Structure 1
Amino acid sequence: MLRSKVLIFCICLFVIALSMPHFAYAKVKNDITVTVSVSPESSFQTTMPFRDQNHFTKRLLRSSTVVASYNLHWIRATLTVKKRTYVYDHDGQLYEKEMPRRYVLGNDVRQRIEEMVKSVEAVHFAQAIPWEQVKKTLKRMEFGTVIDLETGQRFDVQRRAGSRHADVQPLTRKDTQIMKNIYQGKWSWKRRAILVEVDGTYFAASMHGMPHGAGAIKGNEFPGHFCIHFFGSSTHRRTEPDPSHSMMILKASGALAATIKGASPEELVGFFLTALHEHDTHTMRMTTDGFSLPEGLSSIESVRTSEIIIPSDERGPLLIEVPVRLTYIDREGGNFRRTWQFLLRREVPWDRWRIIAVELNP
């Protein structure tokens, strides 16, 4: 008798379930995830899940494909769809990660991918707010949190001074240790892309990692202060923004690729040399078509000056040479003055320029 009642009860539940809407009993799951980071080597990533809308997955998987490979350093986001991994680049192209295959996307599929990627980028990056506006929030003696976009490590600081940029100090000994860890245990003038959070508001910024000048926070074991630059900031000696800080602010705002896409040949070479000075291999490769960089670049410690020698009437619509006279210091301290030859190409007149070769001793 008891067994019969249990059987009748189970049948009733089954009938009720069939009569209910699908979402009431289906297992809730996210079919798509999108991941964004500032570079392929970055351990700091933002991943967001999305539900399949308007049969997006089905339309994506039915898209035709062509044989093609992607540039690792031109990736904008990684998508996981039904356990398959794709990379989406800054040109709006979608590739299968493990196979040389590019998908020919319909406008509706591409638009959906753009919407998802932009949603994640809005969380991962921050806006490049002008310094004149930032300093009204990050006032003198105000506290903030620095977030390194490559490692995700964060530490607290206090702005103590600075008119053209923020002169800040780590709050505690622990904050100083975290900052030094970001620079692999050695203080450095090299710039890094960061976010600065003040009372829940995030700003795209750039910092260097060298204590200098005076410090006033006792017990933090930081011998001086360091500088944080925001959009429009400059050094104490110059009124124009520092190129290295400007490049890192573009990275922190997620706008570096778009800026590179619109760069002239001379501007593109400038980004390459700035990235070389900062030992930012990822940004250097963003300016190229993926060719192997000359081995001699790895021995350069810093680029001191560079002067682009504009060729006379030799510029073509698809191919151009840009000679550059520069001085630099190698890792052993030697000073050099050389002229390098950059070769740039674009496929069609409305395409972006790419560096396809660098000749160090022409």
Structure 2
Amino acid sequence: MDVTSKNLVVEKAKTSRIEQIDFDHLPFGANFTDHMFVCDYKNGQWETPKIIPYQPLMMEPSASVFHYGQAVFEGMKAYKDDEGGIWLFRPDENFRRINRSGERLAMPAFPEEYFFEGLKKLLLLDQEWIKPGIGNSLYIRPFVIASQPAIIASPSQEFKFIIICSPAQSYYGGEVRVKIAEKFSRAADGGFGYTKAAGNYAGQFYPTNLAKEEGFQQVVWTDANTHEYIEEAGTMNIFIRLGDKLITCPTSDRILDGVTRKSVIALAEDRGIEVEVRPIKVVELLEGMKDGSLKEMFGSGTAAVINPILGFGYKGERYELPKVENSYAATIKKQLMDIQYNRAEDKFGWRYRVK
């Protein structure tokens, strides 16, 4: 074991599994790098974090996470430029958000120094897993789980903060059409829809499976009170283009404050595109299809970056969006990815060099 600093202990893997990976055919989130970051919270404090070989966890069946779902996570990516430099994109936003999610689920905040020192060391150890080229990346999954072996229905007193990494290519492929939810909702007022809590995602699977049976790939969630307003697209924030105006829903205790979302807004405004952040009624989409003003719909998120929506279903009817040249989705996605891969000026200061 090699102690690299007072804040981090590193145990290197004896051999690498990288030669077993087909980087030309990567299923998303199915392969993991040689190392993982682990830090335990016990007796009211975070212990010294460790980087160890990727391995199964040993946990009691009574661990609180299995019974009460006290678990939050983040999604980030590392990119490699054409000169071999490693970059993160707005990691400070992810760090703040995982602690914000944890606070809502009665979890202790994780120290910033531990997070960034551990993440940088982990990426440098496994840097060969990060392949250059647009579309290639290393998906980073920090998460926190309640590990106390007790089934009492109260906040855990022990936790594990873990980071695992998975080589990735483009997340979504093919055409995406969505069903606008008429009955199901992703989150409700006063809940924790704004967090990346595990339960938020588990609750989406059943309605999404029903939509897939009808030939759709995702669900556009509507508000729990009236189902009159759209809120998110699958696991992504949603944007629509009416005429030349780009519109997205405001964040709230129901809607995730996406890092990609706020980046899309900034890039659009910088290009002179008028952006409105306001509630969006389903009827606006229907009227936009009738009068031709609805030009684009797309989702934004870390995994997919920007995912164009080609059509939607609502109340048994199907609608196909027009094909638009020089679409906002394609233009902004290219600009965003050029920043992420260090191929363009970063006037916003979003890139973070790992060295």
User: TM-score, normalized by length of structure 2?
Assistant: 0.27
Instruction: For CA contacts below 8 A with separation 6 or more, give which structure has more relative contact order.
Output: 2
